[in-house]
Structure 1
């Protein structure tokens, strides 16, 4: 078997270190599917905690406080890295050492996993798959480092000194033509025969010629004893190392995301919602007109629009969540999730709208929310009189600025923990999000909210303001045609035109419809529980053959009718009348 004698020590250690990273990255990825507690590093850490004497645990808590577990896991990773580098170092000459080392890694990891409470057969899969990936990666990196073989310099086997009488020795090849070397190929370097490589009288370094006796006799080509020895290939090793780092990093990141989602989903499932101290009014019987194709009064959670800046949905464990309120306050406040659930909770029906919603667009939805009133929590902190902005921050770093006066004017602005009777979905801000009626989401509806700085608009800017959007975001009165759909085909005769309209915290007072720029006709309105939700509307229409354009406009409870003048969403929300064209046959 060929040995990796040409791989330097540093290269072997690097290959071992990267292979260990690949093993952990792949194990993390698989653990994200099987379960986060099956990740071998976590399992080893847990086992270490269980086996550590109480005095040592007490010392760790005193020395590191809340960071004791992070320090422990960091220590485990450092030890694993050192051992992996040692395995790579020893594997340069004996590849079997690498396989044995990873097997020992696997045995320790499997023992740590199976000794955990409620361990199952599948829990060992991340460790086994990770070990296999690491061993494979180590072999691959060492082979790449070994590179391509090259000829070795080795002692020559001397040719016979005498030719047979009367002719050439049968073991000696025929003499080469004049001007040719021992191989019979014309020489290109001008060196004399028998002097290749500095050969002496016996021609040890090349094919020689015997000059004794009756003339020159060609000797056989030199036989090399050393064969071919592999040469170290730095470039191939480093490119392989780069690939290994990418695999290790990608596996770790994806595994953490998957594992975090599983852990948060489990934590979400364990939340028990308290009863509302202030329940919402029952939804009126006539709130939903139950017309096919018309948006329902309550938008199901699975259908509720999602618009945010999070490329990866934050996975926030409610056990770790805190809300910090600071800035222009008399008494900074910090609440845990348990603290929030102990507060009197309010239930409210509120329609949310995204500022990026085009006229007639889908980024609007209505839900029943449960949460603590933002005004009650803020009063605990004691807002200063000159504060006019709440700069809220999400767990992923997004910020939005909400006017203080809107939150404190008595409307149902909530730190919401539930949506439509269930714990807040992760995609919609679990464990806590803001809900503020009457404002576009970019200035009010922070998901995964963890921090609120009480400040002023002339001192701080939120995420979207320097990007050209208005600092204030009151929702504009809007209406939308849901039935019939744009480009739809209808049969001539009785038909229904229906849709929704909204003017959050003001309320919709009237909706009018016209066909082919004819007379405006007032639609019938569905009932609503309050001014903070959208309102369904419908009107009967005697459809005649041909193409038709249908338009709609709404008037809010203050008497303002939405403008016909179209405007794009930026900088403060779209405007204009929604219209659809249909064909009637």
Structure 2
């Protein structure tokens, strides 16, 4: 079966008619109350089949299985559209509930959780591969005692975690938009590594994509218990194709070039001395730790505003360290604390707002952050290569008479 999520994360829909043979029905998977299942829904459907489908959906919901985009009614008197459906168990460890105040409600400030369609995309591949989940599997091997291969159905059947995690690209410029936050669901990587038994001579984890791309990071990164996972869902939907369907690695606190292997085919326990991943072989730093950063999103650089109160807002991040304080300076003056929105967790960005009494003239606004450990964001300007840009995001605003 091939499931092809589109750019918005939803799987393909197929038009149907009402002339289906009566024996073409949906098979209800055995053990639905316990297992995760990938279900193929037929291309055509009559009224009887529709009723059986609705019954399957109800059974899945009662069993605690999250069902994604099963059936949508068309314009005919029976049913118009059927979707190949993906279902997966609700997470064993759900994401903590987000507070109501994670967004300061400023006009023009993007959501705290990035919609799948808006999430940044950086790949070496020209196009996302078309993967058949009926034959796809990934292997964990290398310097391990018990190599393990998991099919898609087997992966979905394992206990899973769900977390809000901010991901960032190392090539993001100061103030850039190559950063996003999503609710990811998948199998904890540390649990999988326990199953295979990592040998003492391994010091690195290298993910391999179906197209041969590799990304790797030190094994020691996982020693602090961070919620690294083999993810298969994003914001409650199957991974969109461009974001790694059917499974990818998500590692909080690391840039994607060392950790975010999409379209996963292998996790190799190895050493970085013997197994050099793609970007490290091209001179990028082996230390892919995300650095503290902050950004002004509202108002935009170069805009004109009227005198008086001007709402200023943005976001700051230092995954796996948490945002402690954000400060803003106008025209090189004293640093002033802004108001932080509610925290989304240690591995997420944090939105902020500030009310500015703007006077006529062209003004320069600059932002910085301090993480929970007291580390001040690096103000020294540095390019992205070989290991992330640094500097303080600065904008100019033209304030005109009201």
TM-score, normalised with respect to structure 2: 0.79
Match of 2:201 among 386, 398, 414: 386
- Could you tell me which residue of structure 1 aligns to residue 136 of structure 2? 321
Q: How does 1:61-80 map to 2 (within 5 A)?
A: none
Change in 2 beyond 3 A, CA 1:334/1:502? same
SS at match of 2:215: strand
Question: Does residue 466 in structure 1 map to residue 281 in structure 2?
Answer: yes
Q: Residues 268 and 382 (structure 1 numbering): CA distance in 2 closer, same or farther, change over 3 Å?
A: farther
Contact 1:495 1:541 in 2 (8 A): yes
- Given that 2:344 and 2:350 are in contact with CA atoms closer than 8 Å, whether structure 1 keeps it comes out as no
Identify the residue that residue 361 of structure 1 maps to in structure 2.
Answer: 176
Q: Provide the aligned C-alpha RMSD in A.
A: 2.1
Q: Distance in 2 between matches of 1:332 and 1:512?
A: 49
Any conservation in 1 of the 2:88–2:157 contact (CA below 8 Å)? no
CA distance in 2, matches of 1:456, 1:290: 47
Equivalent in 305, 323, 327 of residue 508 of structure 1: 323
Q: 1:408 deviation in Å?
A: 4.1
In the alignment, is the contact (CA less than 8 A) between 1:434 and 1:446 conserved in 2? yes
Task: Give 1:412's aligned residue.
Answer: 227
Greater radius of gyration (CA)? 1
Q: How many angstroms does 1:269 deviate by?
A: 4.0
Distance 1:282 1:584 in 2: 40
Q: Distance in 2 between matches of 1:386 and 1:350?
A: 30
> What is the Cα deviation at residue 268 of structure 1?
8.7
Matched, 1:574 2:389: yes
Post-superposition shift, 1:407?
2.7
Choose the corresponding residue for 1:450, options 240, 261, 265.
265
Residue 231 of structure 1 is matched in structure 2 by: none
Give the length in aligned residue pairs.
327
The structure whose RCO (Cα within 8 Å, separation 6+) is larger is 2
How much does 1:315 deviate? 1.2
- What corresponds to 1:524 in structure 2? 339
Alignment match, 2:35 = none
1:546 aligns with 2:335: no
| Equivalent residue for 2:113, pick from 285, 293, 298 | 298
Please give the secondary structure, in 1, of the residue aligned with 2:88: coil
Question: What is the aligned partner in structure 2 of residue 498 from structure 1?
Answer: 313
What is the rounded CA distance, in whole Å, between the counterparts of 1:269 and 1:503 in structure 2?
A: 39
Partner secondary structure for residue 155 of structure 2: helix
Aligned to 1:560: 375
Extract unaligned runs of 5+ from structure 1.
Answer: 1-32, 36-116, 119-265
Whose strand fraction is larger, Structure 1's or Structure 2's?
2
Following superposition, the deviation at residue 526 of structure 1 comes to 0.8
Q: Secondary structure, in 3 states, of the residue corresponding to 1:273?
A: strand
For structure 2, the residue ranges without an aligned partner over 5 or more in a row are 1-11, 15-42, 45-80
Residues in 1 aligned to 2:342 and 2:178: alpha-carbon distance in whole angstroms:
22
Alpha carbons 2:206, 2:270 under 8 Å: kept: yes
Distance (Å, rounded) in 1 between the aligned partners of 2:94 and 2:221: 22
Q: Deviations over 1:419-451 (max 9, x none)?
A: 011111111101001110000001111110111
CA 1:317–1:399: 2 relative to 1, 3 Å: same
